[in-house]
Structure 1
């Protein structure tokens, strides 16, 4: 596919032009400037002045940025990005993004916000959005918003964050509050949204603030990150463990630390064949709203290694940690992988996509960035943008999506 044959919402960045900039530049991890320009601007312009003309719904005119031809396979012949939900009163769409195919619903958690005058404390709420049945004739108008609603789990999940599919429902990370520790909590996806705690301590030591979780299909073990954001944001006062990655085996009750040496481990995902584990380090996000240009904004990859105990019990551990990629804007937060092995992560200017070799192949530009997202139906990605939710149509299909 040549640039002249690309859809008008796709722009191609010349790698040579990207290597040496001819204009002044000086930015760190913050979001680059958003330039409002005509959609007719050539894609061959310098990459620091990409075409970001915005429509009234704040969707860039050219949101799909191609750095490598591999990204064209992700996009397919007719990629689309549209706004499907919004609420400017509070950041309702921040983390998780768990797709439940049976009900066509995506569950997600808000960012922290202050309640009304009667509730002067920070809170995090859980919501869900219903997706329609897609078809080639579906209405793609930008002003068509889907239904979403807040839900009230019982017992409550305190300061919910990342999540994943688990059993017949979903597993959410509880960051905790006050003296209530962080935990992994199962939630039924149907009213009254009953919950039960799966794990809330490491042999008596409370977790910091579990951030994201994924299930290893081979043995059903739960793998999750545990950074100190609850302490940085004063949700909880004390930190009793280093920032680490853990594996919990529900069948036996065994919990193990499987990776350390990360400043703030955040997102976690497995490759399609589960031979590799990707973990993001969001040190560049200081937990107080600032981006640190000198800090880690890195994705690490580790090998998933099979081990059999003397008693014949099968387990897995991580080995050979090495750098996979570094994000130029913000930090890589939520992370997912498609069936081709491409790695996606929410960053300060949208979603960045790398091929399995760690080469940045493209970006999905979204104003104010993306913390997390999820694959839904084949060719559908739901992007959580704090006060807005976007839907992307493309050719990619998420790995490990049920």
Structure 2
């Protein structure tokens, strides 16, 4: 969970999508009027690309703006909230569906007929997380996060258009997953579950950890729920590497959201768990709020997002304008971490499978808010603007070119030319 307000797609796609107004296509005369600024410099933005969506290109990554520009540092103020009074072309950015910083590669991503569908599914104004696509069923499973907590999961049947939506419950129920991944090798969904309440309806007891679910039968089982007797703060997201280990991030968002009765007992960290032996190992403690996590397609690079501009606050808030349906114990620091980090991954040990990560570096800083869940894609640079903040993303469809963006109070569907990976053949350069 993180307040995320832009989506920037390179070979890596992080859920940081924008709460900008619903876009509309401008008439040619209005577009022409917006194509300049008062200083005589080239306009910051101009219309470009296919007409099936409102596409705007940014000149030189927007690296020079008229000196009158300003932006509120509040993390909740999006990139489109920048004020550029001396360049009216900025209106194109505010009203766009897709914003391209690299026109050539951006248009390759979009393809000939990009489309964005907002509000096609009626949802609660709560945090939506853990989107998981199961190809065999052609279904998307999405969790709903926040107090008083949920034992049910949204099931979107994509065999129908618009999707048929139902609420399902696993057996036994799992309380408040916040990250999920479909493992094509065993046909199971693996969930990072951060709900940690001592007593739930029906006498159910649960600690935070990792669970797996058969998507066909909804039978669930736990594989991890402690570190040598310590509670985990709340696994946030997870991924599986090319030798079958589960890597996950652990944060105290569960306590922040009121779905855990226990404050953190351990440092917030990135962990590795080997299901075959039960071994759990801490891999990194350097991030303030480790969040989304993924591996490169060759397994040689680890990516983790840091949403450290958010942290626990003893004073609950609903956010400006009652942003949330419920009070949460969250505070924002505009100068806190909001980056995606990468490490090199090497294999050592007697079996050549023990991972060692080195070479930590920043590869991206969010344009606004904080980066949350992330997925590895193909290539290109673009920005998708939704009508709601986005927490995580997932591709679906036979060609894996439909992207679902799920977040606070909304689910958005995007159709374009940027394909997601085939999870059955994810690691294409394995050792």
Give the TM-score normalised by structure 1.
0.79
Deviations 1:109-128 (A, max 9, x none): 11214xxxxxxx44463111
Is 1:31 matched with 2:77? yes
* Structure 1 residue 289: Cα displacement: 5.0
Question: Secondary structure at the residue paired with 1:78?
Answer: coil
Question: Secondary structure at the residue paired with 2:388?
Answer: coil
Mark the CA change 1:24 to 1:4 in structure 2 (over 3 Å): closer, same or farther. Answer: closer
Partner of 1:127: 154
Structure 1: 5+ residue stretches without partners: 36-43, 54-61, 114-120, 134-143, 343-354, 356-360
Distance in structure 1 (CA, Å) of the matches to 2:63 and 2:352? 51
Distance in structure 1 (CA, Å) of the matches to 2:257 and 2:47? 46
Partner of 2:10: none
Partner of 1:258: 283
Partner of 2:163: 146
* Structure 1 residue 108: Cα displacement: 1.2
* Structure 1 residue 368: Cα displacement: 2.4
Counterpart selection for 1:229 from 245, 250, 253: 253
Residue pair 1:219, 1:315 contacting (<8 A) in 2 also: no
* Structure 1 residue 85: Cα displacement: 3.7
* Structure 1 residue 204: Cα displacement: 2.2
Is 1:13 matched with 2:58? yes
Distance in structure 2 (CA, Å) of the matches to 1:255 and 1:183? 12
Of stretches 231-240 and 97-106 in structure 1, the one that deviates more from structure 2 is 231-240
Residue pair 2:293, 2:373 contacting (<8 A) in 1 also: yes
Of stretches 101-110 and 15-24 in structure 1, the one that deviates more from structure 2 is 15-24
Residue pair 2:225, 2:232 contacting (<8 A) in 1 also: yes
Question: Secondary structure at the residue paired with 2:342?
Answer: strand
Q: What's the C-alpha RMSD, in Å, of the aligned pairs?
A: 2.4
Counterpart selection for 1:329 from 340, 354, 368: 368
Matches for 1:1-400 after TM superposition, within 5 Å? 6-7=50-51, 8-15=53-60, 17-28=62-73, 29-32=75-78, 45-47=88-90, 49-53=91-95, 62-69=96-103, 70-83=105-118, 85-91=120-126, 94-113=128-147, 121-123=148-150, 125-132=152-159, 145-166=162-183, 167-179=186-198, 180-191=206-217, 193-216=218-241, 218-234=242-258, 235-286=260-311, 288=329, 290-309=331-350, 312=351, 314-338=353-377, 340=378, 342=379, 361-377=381-397, 378-399=400-421
Query: How many aligned positions are there?
Result: 343
Deviations 1:67-88 (A, max 9, x none): 1132222111211111364335
Deviations 1:195-252 (A, max 9, x none): 1001111222221100001111x21110100012123334232311101011111112
Structure 2: 5+ residue stretches without partners: 1-45, 82-86, 199-205, 313-328, 425-431
Distance in structure 1 (CA, Å) of the matches to 2:252 and 2:114? 38
Partner of 1:137: none
Give the TM-score normalised by structure 2.
0.74
Residue pair 2:61, 2:102 contacting (<8 A) in 1 also: no
Mark the CA change 1:125 to 1:297 in structure 2 (over 3 Å): closer, same or farther. Answer: farther
Mark the CA change 1:4 to 1:84 in structure 2 (over 3 Å): closer, same or farther. Answer: closer
Question: Secondary structure at the residue paired with 1:230?
Answer: helix
